[in-house]
Amino acid sequence: MTTTAIPAEARHAPAAAPKRRPGREREGAAWVFLSPWVLGAIVLTLLPMAVSLYLSFTDYDLFSPPKWVGLRNYVQMFTEDPRYWRSVVTTLTYVVVAVPLQLALALAVALALKGMKRGKGFYRSAFYAPSLLGASMSIALVWRAVFNDGGTVDNLLGTGGWVNKPGWALLAVALLTVWQFGAPMVIFLAGLQQIPPELYEAAAVDGAGKWRQFLSVTVPMLSPVLFFNLVLQTIQAFQVFTPAFAVSAGKGGPADSTLVYTMYLYDRGFVASHMGYASAMAWVLLLVIGVVTAVLFRTSRSWVFYASEGER
Amino acid sequence: MPGHRTKGFCASAAALALCAVLAGCGGPGESAGGGKVVLRYTWWGNPDRAERTEQAVALFEKQHPDIDVATSFSGYDAYKQKLATQAAGGDAPDVMQLDYRQIDQYASGGVLLDLAKQKSALRTSEIDPGLLATGRVDDVQYAIPQGRGTETVAYDVRTWKKSGVPLPGESWTWSEWADTMRALAKKTGKPGATDPGQSEDAFEVWLRGRGKTLYTEDGSLGFTAGDLTRWWTFTDRLRREGAVSPAEQTTQLDGSVENTPLGRGTSVTDANWDAPASGFAALVEGGVALAPMPTGEDGTPGQYFKPSMFVGVSAKTEHPEQAARLVDFLINDRQAAKILGASRGIPVNETIRDEIGPQLKDFDKTIAGFQASLEGKLKDPPQAPPSGDNALQSTFQRDYDQVSYARMSPREAAENYVTEAKAELRS
């Protein structure tokens, strides 16, 4: 960057000239225009976060004023609550199953669409549709019906209702997420279209087959996009709530098998009225997601290939 | 430059105006209806109760043209969560239905209005003093019971009769009950009952039949892990034998009659409270009748008359007088009583009870008859459960899931529950 070479005073120089007032004024107007967002961010995000941090050190049942208990919530969580650890294991299982499946499916569909000559727009929209629907509660309820006793899956496969079997319920939840692969698919598709066709031509001339081309051209060229999707979906997967809530009819059952982290958090906060404990859980989740993301970024150095790096 | 200033000014003004509009949208939309007072009234229940309540409310609105009542209802589990959140946010409905398990928490949390302050609008003179007292916390009348309920074994009459197993009599012990369920399962090919292991209510009946209680007087646990192990071992065995519902069905219970095995037509009986059992009438083609809950082996009854469906007024209501009027109407109005029938239990106003009693129809009559058959036989109800019980009810069901899915032994799960319950009651 060339700007770094300019001394600090020199950079501010134009602002100090006669045009100063309108500049200021414009800044003021900018703040006015930003104010709905800034207010929203402060009132609806930062303030509640601060309150939640405070509450995490208290015993608060929603009805009487919070009582300061220091680190007790955190200590109880890590040492005295077997259900907490069960929810951690469930969430990790979910992340490890749902994220790779979803990304693999998104990539596969994106590859299929890329080669398509006609009707690409239609199929892209069609595959994206579940992502629009999937965020809603209604589709999750339909999902529960599909996987319930006497539902479509039961009728087709004769397996009984998945949502009532501890070993299967989480898979039904994961499939709901996997099915909403639209967002990563679109990003993959955009990424695939960025890969210069010359690379494939060159590879073909060198005698590389389709599979070889995929491994040696597509994967490395697509790795930044893959990394982006991986980080995004992992963060989302840790916070999964709606599908687990709807598929288990709000209970995290059967036998706690779909009691993911946020479900247990909700249970502690809104069912058992332990808001302090729930707040502490939320902060631990935030930290864990931060750490996992940091780890992903660290490992990315060894497998993500940026084309710009190569040119340097 | 003036041009700039004007533009900037306009922009700020526009933005501020926009903010004002947005803020306006967020505000309470009450009292918008041309000077009418708007009351929010919420309850839990089944569609039958909802329909009758709506009819009664419409009558109230007709009698009080200056009051509009906005109603909403849901199933118990959802209701309980929503109400807690609303109450915490200082936004509790003006008039709300409350359970025996909730009044302690809501009263001590300052959510409820002292109803004695609205004496002129709300008469309580025709309610049995003992029953009325169940709505008191620290000697303040925070809520009024709307009825009394007791537990019952509701059964599918046609299926039972066809099985050839003798119909239930005036009383039965738990082991007689268990044998009957086995016989029903054998003859009908479907489980005799919903697995009672998941129900804290059923456990309480069993416990009281053995002379123990769910909670002691000072609000700690009244039973040991050994007692709970014995109960869960009993139900676990019945489940393995197929006499009660399998885990896959039991786990689907959510407080509604629609999702019970009996409601789905996959079992012959279901233990439930008598008022909600009216919902079975619409679901079970073969007709529904009520039998008493099983007793202890020496005949000690476990079930009791529980003051049910309390109604309270929010401490933060802007219209305490009108809210009290609505409560008065629900409890003391003759026409309202006719419409409501026994949908919340037999009426508490004694004059009305005597007058309406003989006129009750359909399932209301069944419930009245059932309660009359138990009159004088039951022991006193326990005092209102401690606040933590609200959460423990679902913990109980969850821990039993571990037993019915054979992931834990009854002993393991019982010890888990007792640990959790002690922590819950301590805080």
Whether B13 and chain A come into contact, CB under 8 Å, resolves to no
Task: For residue A270, give how far its alpha carbon lies from the nearest alpha carbon of chain B (Å).
Answer: 6
Name residues 43-72 of chain A within 8 A of B (Cβ). 59, 61-64
Token duo for residue B396: 């109980």
**What average pLDDT does this structure show over B343-369?**
82
**What average pLDDT does this structure show over B158-169?**
90
Of A33, A62, A63, the CB nearest to B15: A33
Query: How confident is the model over B214-230, as pLDDT tens digits?
Result: 999 888 899 999 999 99
Beta-carbon pairs below 8 A across chains A and B: 109
What does the pLDDT read at residue A23?
A: 61
Q: Answer whether B222's CB lies under 8 Å from B215's CB.
A: yes
Whether A23 and chain B come into contact, CB under 8 Å, resolves to no
More confident residue, A21 or B313: B313
For residue B112, what is the nearest residue in chain A, using CA coordinates? A63
Task: For residue A29, give how far its alpha carbon lies from the nearest alpha carbon of chain B (Å).
Answer: 6
pTM of the predicted model as reported, rounded to 2 decimal places: 0.78
Please report, as a single letter, which amino acid is at residue A233: Q
Q: Do B108 and A63 touch (CB under 8 A)?
A: yes
Task: For residue A288, give how far its alpha carbon lies from the nearest alpha carbon of chain B (Å).
Answer: 26
The DSSP element (H or E) to which A13 belongs, if any, is helix A8-16
For residue B402, what is the nearest residue in chain A, using CA coordinates? A255
More confident residue, A121 or A264: A264
Q: Do B15 and A28 touch (CB under 8 A)?
A: no
Task: For residue B9, give how far its alpha carbon lies from the nearest alpha carbon of chain A (Å).
Answer: 8
Report the percentage of chain A scoring pLDDT > 70. 89
How many angstroms separate the CA atoms of B62 and B354, rounded? 26
Whether B116 and chain A come into contact, CB under 8 Å, resolves to no
What does the pLDDT read at residue A24?
A: 66
Whether B390 and chain A come into contact, CB under 8 Å, resolves to yes
**What average pLDDT does this structure show over A256-281?**
90
From chain B, the residues in CB contact with A253 under 8 A are 251, 398, 401
Name residues 342-361 of chain B within 8 A of A (Cβ). none
DSSP assignment letter at B172: -
Report the percentage of chain B scoring pLDDT > 70. 92
Whether A270 and chain B come into contact, CB under 8 Å, resolves to yes
Helix (H, G, I), strand (E, B), or coil: what is residue B89? coil
Rounded to the nearest 10 degrees, the angle between the axes of helix A137-146 and helix A166-179 is 140
From chain A, the residues in CB contact with B401 under 8 A are 253-256
Query: How confident is the model over A126-173, as pLDDT tens digits?
Result: 888 887 776 677 777 888 888 887 777 777 877 777 878 888 888 888
Task: For residue A80, give how far its alpha carbon lies from the nearest alpha carbon of chain B (Å).
Answer: 9
Residue by residue, DSSP assigns B188-249 as HSS-SB--GGG-HHHHHHHHHHTT--SB-TTSSB-S-HHHHHHHHHHHHHHHHHTSB--HHH
Name residues 77-136 of chain A within 8 A of B (Cβ). 80, 82
Q: Do B81 and A270 touch (CB under 8 A)?
A: yes
Confidence of residue A254 (pLDDT cuts 50, 70, 90): confident
Query: How confident is the model over B133-154, as pLDDT tens digits?
Result: 888 888 899 999 988 889 999 9
Q: Tokens 């009024």, residue?
A: B144
